[in-house]
């Protein structure tokens, strides 16, 4: 299949009034012609993507986005770059959808490294037969999410595969951001005595996806926690640039992030079961299905490791932000056992929280 740059020059004409021609998609469903490089593809790109993502950098309609270095360096001198792919099933689920997820996921990957997210790419793989209206809803949600997060979608790509070769729609987003001077967030910074904080309830996203699939006779009003975290992170760094480590707890959940911290820093981590925010409905679903909320996916939760002397100010600023109202101190870093996460269940009982083995819920992001 020939290459089909998403935002190639597709007949959009510019003049002093920044005028564009009004190509429209006439089909109701994606066909192989929409990936062929011809008029059908150009109309799809112009009508669905370019119109939604319109911004000055995108308007150049080259095969790449270019930036004035000075426009980036004003934020700092270190570049952050991340990419992720999204194959969630179903495409729409309580509280969010694959488009919003694709924006927030990459924004958050940049943010937890201390970066200010600036620009994203958008590449899509479309299955023949996908309803154009479904694609339009997803792209519109991407635009809304990007605006909320303060980032621009500036370049991308589209491919179409035969019916049955994919599942409706897959999205890849890559992003760049700038890390401010003086910020050095790394798992290598973690030391015994540090404190672990999370910004709210765990397991909501994984539970919402599970129920949305309709494979179980369960009903719930649980919604995905999908949200951008860059503004919350910026507020945290404003009061405490010396954050030790930070990571968003997506696939594998809270347990996986903590194990990654412990192994990378060669320390132990002890968390307290009663301190971890978990919604009662999530606990109930987990009990019925034999799942552990510590391993359920999240899409709006970050784990922060901070020196003990900064805990109060960091926790205060997190609780004052909408994305961190239910923030809580959940544990501390210990000398030993190294590379191990312990769960204190109360009454002196402890158990090891290991890395996730296998997959509790496939295709959750």
- pLDDT averages per 10-residue partition of the chain, 365 residues: 43 40 83 92 91 88 86 91 97 97 98 97 98 98 98 96 97 97 96 98 96 81 97 97 97 96 98 97 92 96 98 98 98 97 90 86 88
pLDDT given for residue 22 in this prediction: 60
Q: Give the per-residue pLDDT at 68.
A: 87
Residue 135 and residue 126 in contact, taking contact as beta carbons nearer than 8 Å: yes
> CA–CA separation, 320 vs 330, rounded Å?
18
Fold of 32-179: 60s Ribosomal Protein L30; Chain: A; (3.30.1330)
Cα 324 from Cα 318, distance rounded (Å):
5
Helices (DSSP H) in the chain: which residue ranges? Answer: 39-44, 51-53, 69-73, 98-111, 132-149, 204-212, 230-239, 253-265, 280-289, 311-319
Instruction: Reduce the DSSP state of residue 29 to 3 states and report it.
Output: strand
CA distance 2 to 36: 7
Q: By the 8 A CB rule, do 88 and 127 touch?
A: no
**Is this model's pTM higher than 0.85 or not?**
yes
How many other C-beta atoms can be found within 10 angstroms of the C-beta atom of residue 332?
18
What residues contact residue 237 under an 8 Å CB cut-off, 6+ apart?
114, 180, 183, 243
Please answer whether residues 112 and 229 qualify as being in contact, where contact means their C-beta atoms are separated by less than 8 angstroms: yes
CATH class of domain segment(s) 187-352: alpha beta
pLDDT at 347: 80
Among 288, 102, 269, which Cα is nearest to 207's? 288
First to last CA, the chain: 27
CA dihedral sign of residues 271, 273, 279, 282: positive
Domain boundaries, the chain: 32-179, 187-352
Residue pointed to by tokens 């490294």: 113
Q: Is 182 exposed, middle or buried (0-12, 13-18, 19+ CB in 10 A)?
A: exposed
Distances (CA, A) of 210 to 7, 88, 177, 235, 362: 35, 11, 33, 33, 10
How far is Cα 157 from Cα 144, in angstroms, rounded to an integer? 20
């Amino acid at each position: 299949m020939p290459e089909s740059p998403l935002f190639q020059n597709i007949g959009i004409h510019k003049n002093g009034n920044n005028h564009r021609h009004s190509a429209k998609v006439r089909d109701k469903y994606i066909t192989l012609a929409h990936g062929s490089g011809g008029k059908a593809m150009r109309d799809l790109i112009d009508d669905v993507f370019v119109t939604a993502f319109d911004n000055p950098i995108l308007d150049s309609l080259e095969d790449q986005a270019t930036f004035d270095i000075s426009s980036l360096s004003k934020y700092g001198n270190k570049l952050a770059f991340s990419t992720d792919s999204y194959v969630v099933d179903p495409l729409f689920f309580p509280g969010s959808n694959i488009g919003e997820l694709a924006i927030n996921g990459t924004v958050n990957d940049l943010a937890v490294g201390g970066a200010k997210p600036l620009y994203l790419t958008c590449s899509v793989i479309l299955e023949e037969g996908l309803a154009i209206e479904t694609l339009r809803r997803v792209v519109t949600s991407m635009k809304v999410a990007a605006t909320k997060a303060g980032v621009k979608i500036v370049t991308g790509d589209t491919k179409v595969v035969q019916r049955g070769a994919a599942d409706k729609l897959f999205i890849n987003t890559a992003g760049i951001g700038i890390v401010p001077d003086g910020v050095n967030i790394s798992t290598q910074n973690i030391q015994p005595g540090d404190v672990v904080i999370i910004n709210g309830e765990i397991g909501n996203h994984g539970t919402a996806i599970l129920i949305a699939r309709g494979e179980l006779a369960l009903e719930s009003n649980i919604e995905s926690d999908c949200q951008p975290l860059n503004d919350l992170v910026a507020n945290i760094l404003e009061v405490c640039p010396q954050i030790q480590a930070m990571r968003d707890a997506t696939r594998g959940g809270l347990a996986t992030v903590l194990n990654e911290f412990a192994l990378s820093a060669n320390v132990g981590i002890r968390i307290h079961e009663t301190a971890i925010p978990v919604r009662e409905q999530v606990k109930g679903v987990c009990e019925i299905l034999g799942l552990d909320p510590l391993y359920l996916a999240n899409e709006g939760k970050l784990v922060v490791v901070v020196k003990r002397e900064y805990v109060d100010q960091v926790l205060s600023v997190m609780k004052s932000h909408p994305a961190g109202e239910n923030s809580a101190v959940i544990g501390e870093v210990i000398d030993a056992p190294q590379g191990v996460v312990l769960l204190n269940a109360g009454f002196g009982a402890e158990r090891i929280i290991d890395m996730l083995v296998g997959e509790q819920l496939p295709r959750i992001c």
